[in-house]
């Protein structure tokens, strides 16, 4: 070992606090992110017991009797009518042929369906484990999977395109177009920010209320009686409305960085506005658009709540996995294999987005605009764009307004008089408990997540040590893990304890595992914000504290944390909001001991009790926006950003 | 608390990987320095020569690939920065933006668990010393650059470190303030008798502050010595050129007598000091500082004036001696005959004002 390496090692171990924290972090990330995902992968290729499949001549009863004499258990049989040509006598059974060894009986069912319908099949369970890739051909051959897979891709494509276009429209209008009307401008601002933290279900719910069979608009106003919002178009609309603000924010940042003089140069040479957009703005934006598209694509693919509620028969991977787990078939191996497919999809796209497109975006659009942009004032441009934005805005506002009204109308579709009966019903049906449980669990998760993500950011940005890459990669990668996949992973990973040893089995089914899920789901967001906040802080500030005699723990608490207070606090609130609105992973793990707002909304909406669902959703929306308001106020009055910004300006 | 300490670097090297080519290279190579307690030593050199790296190895932020560092006789290679008796003043000041001036300065003392009263007294004293008394409750963003630098200095001084480290502390200040601050730093350092290592690429800063200057180039030490020694007796063309302005005239030693040699320059013979005893017959370069030369109607070397500019304090000449261009600052031109471009004249200098460099010196760095 070189002298430097050994010195760095000694210095590293001279700081026991940091070593402990790093160790704990690595264990936490490995145990609660990598391990469950690893278990899914293992599940999809390894089965603890296997089955041998034979075609035989005997009747099912005879086969059964035969195996029972042998002391074996017969798991599945099928009736034979196939003419038997050859009868090799194997161990007292007239086995026609050995079909092979399989890992799951569901796979068997698949085999039976495909061309063996006339054959007696004996399934003979072995205690030996089986390592094979069978489950993949199995699920790839599975019709429901294939349909769910293509459904998911189509949905992702449509949502990705739609959100990107809509985000681009709003971003373009915001940065390029002069909107005279103050009210209109404010409206666009609100609309493009409103859904950023919208609870799941909300838009699906209002979609049903407004455009469903007994929808206010479709039935009452337009008089359409057979309107069907369930399915691809319904989910796509809802998802676009939910995700376009993400694109808007990303694209706005990019458009602001385009130097106006580039476009003016093109204008100067006689290009029309459209030509300028097509030949200058758009090519510059292309990687950014790709980036936005992929981000929403991933969000769409990972979304569980909306397809669940208004998907109808349009199953996506996320919902199919959920149904596999909770439905009658209990095909864990199939679900695991599907989860692995879904995970590979999102992780692949995420890596492309993160390491290829993000770099490319940064490369094409570097630096700042040299000066203010002259907004476009030509009516031919401003008018159609403004009208388009206005229509979308009205639609979004309508969707949000529908929810509180849904909770206040006596009976949606029939009786539009106001009453509090749904709130009363909510309270009667354990409403308080749901709010209490959701609140308590989310409140426990937020400080843990906020602190954890700040510590991770600090270590990742400011420290060099073995395992740093691991910590950064895993905590950011968690962003690409769909909630459903995580949920299935937790079931497989913890239901029988870690590695089926019973270790940590105690947390399964408790509030602790829910809190852990909340933490894991919000960690990447907090870490990302912490990392970007810390990159703003000149390393010498912490170095000087270190140099004056403070150990890492002291440096972190007395210098780093106060300087990224904003990020810490926003992590706190973001985690709270994300947790209280979380559903995808939670719904697989929650036990009747805990009632959560979101699972309650799901239940009631599924039952068609839209009134109570709306009552829940209304209160949830109020909680979410109140939290965010609180956060903004706090940052405004107690934030450090100004000092830090000025300190950085001095650093130059 | 702790007394001033000496620092010794023994064969220190630091290898970095080039971020682009991934090839390792020596950012600092085989650097040995011995700094006496209480001395003010400057690391001077062009950008990228490894000054900051050396300083950061002393502070403990970087670990050397080879060699050992001693602080007050104790080997400190394995100590983390917080365990080393050093305090650093950063180029960016690195004040804590969320603390006011008092808390910034008190930070190190609080870590040392001093009593409240003691902290208060020490902070106030040191703020007075850096002439920041009365500003202790200001936030750092309400201070000018010079004031911030004073606070940064106070924060480092107040913990009474064995060594004070400076990394270009003045480079963010304007020219005038730089001059004021450097005299301040020197005054305070001498008053407290603290050992200081100071990194800069500004030679006038180095000259005015230091007991000793260490000139670095491409990771190695080119020369160390007092400012006078380095100025008048540079070991190499690099040092000569880096410190002050220099003319180089091709010369050949003819004969040496009593430490004074007769050397031939463009077929004219002149007398120069030869303390290093360069042998007759050796081809050398004669280093002539512009202010050490005089242009007159009579003298050692005939030359042709190609440019003559009145600069106030001196007359600036460019003259050709043979085919070598020589720049001369001739002081107090008011009392002398001033030559015009095209005039024939003579260049002369005192035997002890010039310095002979052999070819070996030239190629050594
Ligand atoms: N972390 C690093 N990784 C790789 N190379 C580095 C690193 N830090 C410094 N270097 C390289 O080491 C060399 C010496 O750097 P150093 O910062 O010590 O220079 P310096 O003398 O302080 O220069 P300046 O006057 O510009 O501050 C440079 O070539 C620099 O690019
Ligand atoms: Mg430097």
DSSP A531-557: HHHHHTS-HHHHHHHHHTT--HHHHII
A551: in domain: yes
Alpha-carbon distances, residue A444 vs A82, A91, A487, A494, A576 (angstroms): 63, 62, 19, 21, 9
pLDDT, one tens digit per residue, over A596-624 is 888 888 888 888 888 888 999 899 988 98
What is the number of CB-based contacts under 8 A between chain A and chain B?
A: 112
Q: Are residues A92 and A212 in the same domain?
A: no
The answer, for A19 touching chain B at a CB cutoff of 8 Å, is no
Mutate to test the pocket of ligand 1, among B28, B53, B215 (most ligand atoms within 8 A of CB): B53
CA distance A90 to A592: 51
CA gyration radius for chain A?
29
Give long-range contacts, CB 8 A cutoff, 24+ apart: B267-271.
B267/B322, B268/B300, B268/B301, B268/B302, B270/B300, B270/B301, B270/B351, B271/B351
Of A543, A550, A652, the CB nearest to B61: A543
The reply to whether A82 and A107 lie within a common domain is yes
Confidence label for A82 from pLDDT (cuts 50, 70 and 90):
very low
Last residue of a domain, one of A128, A150, A166: A128
A112 with A202, same domain: the answer is no
pLDDT on residue A641: 56
pLDDT score at A161:
96
The pLDDT value recorded for residue A115 is 44
Cα–Cα separations (whole angstroms), residue B296 to B165, B244, B327, B345, B348: 48, 23, 14, 6, 8
Pocket around ligand 1 at a 6 A CB cut-off: B 16-17, 19, 27, 45, 47-53, 201
What span, in angstroms and rounded, lies between the C-alpha atoms of B216 and B31? 9
Three-state SS for A235-287 is HHHHHHHHHHHHHHHHHHHHHHHCCHHHHHHHHHCCCCHHHHHHHHHHHHHHH
pLDDT in tens, B184-204: 899 989 988 999 999 998 888
Greatest mean pLDDT among A354-363, A382-391, A448-457, A615-624 lies in: A448-457
What is the distance between the terminal CA atoms of chain B, rounded to a whole angstrom? 42
Distance B74 CA to ligand 2 centre (A): 26
Question: Band of the pLDDT at A645, cuts 50, 70, 90?
Answer: low
Residue carrying the six token digits 């905590």: A475
pLDDT level of residue B273 (50, 70, 90 thresholds): confident
Encoded tokens for A166 = 């809509």
Asked if A210 and A216 count as a contact pair (C-beta separation under 8 A), the reply is: yes
A544 plus A622 within the same structural domain: yes
Locate A570 and state its tokens.
């926003």
Distance CA B221, CA B203 (A): 16
Over residues A180-227, the pLDDT tens digits come to: 778 888 888 888 777 766 777 888 888 888 887 777 777 667 767 777
Among A548, A644, A645, A651, most B C-beta atoms within 10 A, so best to mutate, is A548
Tell me the per-residue pLDDT of A505-564, one tens digit each, with 9 for 90 and over: 777 878 899 999 999 999 998 998 899 888 888 889 999 999 999 988 999 999 999 888
Q: How far apart are CA A26 and CA A467, in angstroms?
A: 8
Supply the pLDDT for residue B281.
84
Q: Are residues A57 and A33 in the same domain?
A: no
- Ligand with the closest atom to the CA of B202: 1
The residue written with tokens 């190190």 in the block is B108
Q: Is A361 inside a domain boundary? A: yes
Give the ligand 1 atom nearest the CA of B45: 21
Nearest 10 degrees: Cα torsion A141, A142, A148, A150: 20
**Position A262 in a domain:** yes
pLDDT of residue A126: 55
- Same domain, residue pair A339 and A219: yes
Residue B153: C-alpha distances to residues A35, A65, B125, B131, B167 (Å): 50, 93, 13, 11, 12
Mutate to test the pocket of ligand 1, among B31, B50, B199 (most ligand atoms within 8 A of CB): B50
Give me chain A's average pLDDT, please: 80
Of A345, A362, A380, the one marking the end of a domain is A380
Q: A237 falls in which pLDDT band (50, 70, 90)?
A: very high
> Do A562 and A445 lie in a common domain?
yes
pLDDT grade for B243, boundaries at 50, 70 and 90 = confident
d(CA B246, CA B291): 10
Contact B31, B12 (CB under 8 A): yes
Domain, as residue range, for A497: 3-43+426-651
> What CA–CA distance (Å, rounded) separates B235 from B215?
11
CA quadruple B214, B218, B219, B220: dihedral positive or negative?
Answer: negative
CA-based nearest residue to A210, from A380, A378, A400, A423: A400
Which comes out higher in pLDDT, residue B141 or B52? B52
Same domain, A158 and A68: no
Sign of CA dihedral B89, B95, B96, B101: positive
Domains of chain B (ranges, CATH numbers): 7-240 (3.40.50.300), 245-363 (2.40.50.140)
Mean pLDDT of B49-71: 93
Q: Given this model, what pLDDT does residue B14 score?
A: 94
User: CA-CA distance, B247 to A340, in Å (whole number)?
Assistant: 74
Count of other CB atoms within 10 angstroms of residue B114: 17
Residue A92 has pLDDT above 60, yes or no: no
> Are A540 and B61 in contact (CB < 8 Å)?
no
The band of B352, judged by pLDDT with boundaries at 50, 70 and 90, is: confident
Residue A505 lies in a domain: yes
pLDDT of residue B216: 94
Percent of chain A with pLDDT over 70: 80
pLDDT band at A408 (very low <50, low <70, confident <90, very high): confident
Give domain status of residue A159, yes or no: yes
Please check whether residue A25 lies inside any domain of the structure: yes
What are the backbone dihedrals phi and psi of residue B106, each rounded to the nearest 5 degrees, phi first?
A: -75, -15
Mean of the per-residue pLDDT values for chain B? Answer: 89
Q: Are A607 and A525 in contact (CB under 8 A)?
A: no
Express each pLDDT in B140-166 by its tens digit.
888 888 899 999 999 999 998 999 999
Specify whether the CB–CB gap between A56 and A94 falls below 8 A.
yes
Higher pLDDT, A114 or A153: A153
- Residues A98, A121: Cα–Cα separation, whole Å: 9
* A400 domain residue, yes or no: no
Strand, helix or coil for residue A46: strand
Q: Which atom of ligand 1 is nearest to the CA of B19?
A: 4
CA–centroid distance, residue B16 to ligand 1 (Å): 9
Give the angle A9-A13-A14 at the CA atoms, nearest 5°. 115
pLDDT in tens, A341-364: 999 999 999 988 888 887 777 776
Same domain flag for A35 and A180: no
CA of B48 to the centre of ligand 2 (A): 7
Instruction: Kindly report, residue by residue over B104-152, the tens digit of the pLDDT.
Output: 999 999 999 999 999 999 999 999 988 898 898 998 888 888 899 999 9
Query: How do residues B295-347 score in pLDDT, each as one tens digit?
Result: 988 888 899 999 999 988 889 999 999 889 999 998 877 777 889 899 999 99
In chain A the first and final C-alpha atoms are separated, in Å, by 39
pLDDT above 90 as % of chain A: 19
Q: Residue B269: is it exposed, middle or buried by C-beta count within 10 angstroms (0-12/13-18/19+)?
A: middle
Among A100, A128, A156, the domain-final residue is A128
* Minimal Cβ distance to A559: which of B80, B87, B96: B96
Note whether A11 contacts B145, CB cutoff 8 Å: no
What is the rounded average pLDDT of the residues B347-354? Answer: 83
ipTM score: 0.84
Residue A72 scores a pLDDT above 60: no
Task: Determine the Cα–Cα distance for residues A40 and A139; give it in Å rounded to an integer.
Answer: 14
Interface contact flag, A543 B90, Cβ < 8 Å: yes
pLDDT for A112 equals: 46
Position in ligand 1 atom list of the atom nearest CA B46: 25
Q: Tell me the CA distances in angstroms from B226 to A377, A447, B206, B215, B229, one per residue in order.
A: 69, 58, 10, 11, 5
Computed over its alpha carbons, how large is the radius of gyration of chain B? Answer: 25
Q: Is B321 left (phi over 0), alpha (psi -120 to 50) or beta?
A: beta
CA of A541: which chain B residue's CA is closest?
Answer: B94
The secondary structure element, H or E, covering residue A173 is helix A143-176
CA distance B324 to B347: 12
Q: Which residue's structure tokens are 């094409």?
A: A364
If one compares A232 and A201, the residue with the highest pLDDT of the two is: A232
| Neighbouring residues of B196: CB distance < 8 A, sequence distance ≥ 6 | B39, B40, B41, B163, B164, B165, B166, B189
Is A198 in contact with A303 (CB distance < 8 Å)? Answer: no
A570 & A451 share domain? yes
**Cα-based distances in Å from A227 to A216, A223, A316, A410, A605:** 11, 10, 22, 22, 18
The alpha-carbon gap from B161 to the nearest alpha carbon of chain A, in Å, equals 9
A35 and A79, same domain (yes or no): no
Give one DSSP letter per residue of B239-278, joined into a string: HHHHSS--EEEEEEEEEEETTEEEEEETTEEEEEE-TT-P
Tell me whether residue B15 is exposed, middle or buried, using C-beta atoms within 10 angstroms of its C-beta: 0 to 12, 13 to 18, 19 or more: middle
Residues of A in contact with B77 (CB under 8 A): 3, 7
Average pLDDT estimate for A153-174 = 93
How far is ligand 2, taken at its centre, from the CA of residue A7, in Å?
23
Residues A261 and A371 in one domain: yes
Would you say residue A402 lies in a domain? Answer: no
- B63 and A650 within 8 Å at the Cβ level: the answer is no
pLDDT tops 50 at residue A135: yes
For chain A, how many structural domains are there in total? Answer: 3
> Residue A480 maps to which CATH number?
1.10.3720.10
């Amino acid at each position: 070992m070189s002298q430097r390496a050994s010195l760095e090692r000694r210095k590293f171990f001279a700081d026991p606090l940091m070593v402990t924290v790093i160790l704990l972090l690595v264990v936490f990330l490995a145990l609660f992110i990598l391990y469950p995902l690893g278990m899914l992968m293992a599940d999809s290729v390894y089965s603890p017991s296997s089955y041998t499949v034979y075609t035989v001549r005997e009747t099912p009863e005879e086969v059964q009797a035969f195996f029972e004499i042998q002391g074996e258990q017969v798991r599945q049989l099928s009736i034979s009518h196939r003419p038997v040509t050859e009868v090799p006598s194997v161990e007292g059974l007239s086995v026609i042929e050995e079909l092979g060894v399989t890992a799951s009986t569901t796979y068997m069912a698949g085999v039976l369906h495909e061309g063996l319908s006339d054959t007696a099949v004996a399934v003979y369970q072995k205690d030996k484990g089986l390592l094979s890739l069978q489950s993949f051909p199995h699920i790839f051959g599975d019709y429901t999977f294939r349909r769910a897979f293509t459904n998911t891709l189509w949905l992702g494509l449509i949502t990705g395109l739609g959100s990107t276009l809509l985000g681009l429209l709003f971003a373009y209008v915001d940065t390029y177009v002069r909107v005279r009307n103050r009210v209109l401008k404010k409206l666009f601002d609100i609309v493009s920010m409103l859904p950023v933290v919208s609870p799941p279900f909300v838009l699906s719910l209002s979609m049903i209320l407004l455009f469903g069979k007994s929808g206010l608009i479709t039935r009452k106003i337009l008089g359409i009686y057979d309107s069907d919002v369930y399915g691809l178009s319904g989910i796509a609309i809802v998802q676009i409305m939910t995700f376009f603000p993400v694109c808007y924010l990303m694209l706005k940042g990019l458009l602001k960085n385009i130097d106006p003089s580039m476009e003016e140069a093109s204008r100067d040479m006689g290009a029309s506005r459209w030509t300028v957009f097509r030949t200058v703005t758009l090519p510059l934006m292309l990687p950014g658009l790709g980036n936005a598209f992929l981000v929403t694509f991933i969000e769409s693919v990972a979304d569980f709540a909306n397809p669940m509620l208004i998907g109808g028969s349009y199953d996506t991977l996320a919902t199919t996995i959920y149904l596999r787990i909770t439905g009658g078939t209990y095909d864990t191996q199939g679900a695991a294999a599907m989860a692995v497919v879904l995970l590979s999809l999102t992780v692949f796209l995420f890596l492309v987005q993160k390491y290829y497109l993000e770099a490319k975006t940064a490369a094409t659009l570097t630096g700042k605009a040299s000066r203010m942009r002259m907004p476009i004032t030509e009516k031919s441009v401003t008018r159609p764009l403004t009208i388009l934005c206005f229509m979308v805005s009205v639609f979004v506002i309508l969707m949000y307004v529908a929810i509180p009204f849904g909770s206040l109308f006596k009976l949606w579709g029939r009786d539009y008089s106001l009453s509090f009966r749904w709130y009363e019903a909510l309270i009667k049906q354990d409403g308080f408990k749901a709010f209490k449980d959701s609140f308590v669990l989310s409140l426990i998760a937020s400080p843990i997540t906020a602190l954890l993500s700040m510590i991770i950011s600090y270590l990742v940005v400011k420290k060099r040590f073995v395992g740093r890459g691991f910590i950064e990669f895993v905590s950011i990668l968690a962003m690409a893990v769909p909630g459903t996949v995580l949920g299935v992973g937790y079931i497989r990973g913890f239901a029988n304890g870690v590695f089926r040893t019973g270790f940590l089995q105690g947390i399964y089914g408790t509030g602790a595992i829910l809190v852990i899920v909340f933490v894991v789901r919000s960690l990447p967001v907090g870490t990302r914000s912490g990392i970007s906040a810390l990159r703003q802080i000149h390393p010498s500030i912490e170095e000087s504290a270190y140099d004056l005699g403070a150990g890492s723990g002291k440096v972190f608490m007395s210098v780093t944390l106060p300087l990224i207070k904003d990020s810490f606090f926003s992590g706190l609130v973001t985690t709270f909001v994300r947790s209280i609105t979380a559903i995808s992973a939670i719904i697989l793990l929650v036990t009747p001991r805990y009632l959560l707002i979101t699972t309650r909304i799901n239940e009631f909406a599924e039952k068609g009790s839209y009134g109570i669902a709306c009552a829940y959703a209304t209160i949830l929306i109020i909680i979410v926006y109140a939290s965010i308001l609180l956060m903004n106020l706090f940052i405004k009055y107690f934030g450090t950003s100004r000092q830090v910004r000025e300190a950085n300006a001095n650093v130059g | 608390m702790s007394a001033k300490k000496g620092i010794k670097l023994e064969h220190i090297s630091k290898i970095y990987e080039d971020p682009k080519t991934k090839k390792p290279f020596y950012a600092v190579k085989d650097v040995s320095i011995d700094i006496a307690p209480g001395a003010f030593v400057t690391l001077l050199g062009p950008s990228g020569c490894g000054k900051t790296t050396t300083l950061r190895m002393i502070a403990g932020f970087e670990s050397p690939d080879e060699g050992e560092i001693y602080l007050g006789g104790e080997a400190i290679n394995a100590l983390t920065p917080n365990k080393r008796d050093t305090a650093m003043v950063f180029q960016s000041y690195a004040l804590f933006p969320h603390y006011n001036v008092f808390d910034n300065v008190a930070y190190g003392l609080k870590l040392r668990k001093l009593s409240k009263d003691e902290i208060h007294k020490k902070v106030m004293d040191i703020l007075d010393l850096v002439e920041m008394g009365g500003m202790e409750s200001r936030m750092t963003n309400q201070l000018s650059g010079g004031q911030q630098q004073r606070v940064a200095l106070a924060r480092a001084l107040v913990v009474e470190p064995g060594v004070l480290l400076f990394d270009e502390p003045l480079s963010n200040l304007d020219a005038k303030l730089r001059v004021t601050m450097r005299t301040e730093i020197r005054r305070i350092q001498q008053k407290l008798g603290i050992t200081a290592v100071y990194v800069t690429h500004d030679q006038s800063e180095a000259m005015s502050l230091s007991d000793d200057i260490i000139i670095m180039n491409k990771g190695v030490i080119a020369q160390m010595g007092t400012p006078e020694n380095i100025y008048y007796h540079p070991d190499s063309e690099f040092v000569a050129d880096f410190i002050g302005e220099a003319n180089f005239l091709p010369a050949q030693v003819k004969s040496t007598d009593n430490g004074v040699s007769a050397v031939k320059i463009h077929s004219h013979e002149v007398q120069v000091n030869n303390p290093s005893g360069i042998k007759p017959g050796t081809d050398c370069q004669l280093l002539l500082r512009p202010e050490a030369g005089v242009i007159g109607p009579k003298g050692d070397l005939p030359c042709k004036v190609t440019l003559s500019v009145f600069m106030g304090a001196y007359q600036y000449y460019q003259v050709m001696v043979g085919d070598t261009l020589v720049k001369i600052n001739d002081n107090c031109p008011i009392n002398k005959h001033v030559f015009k471009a095209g005039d024939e004249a003579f260049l002369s200098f005192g035997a002890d004002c010039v310095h002979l460099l052999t070819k070996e010196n030239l190629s050594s760095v």
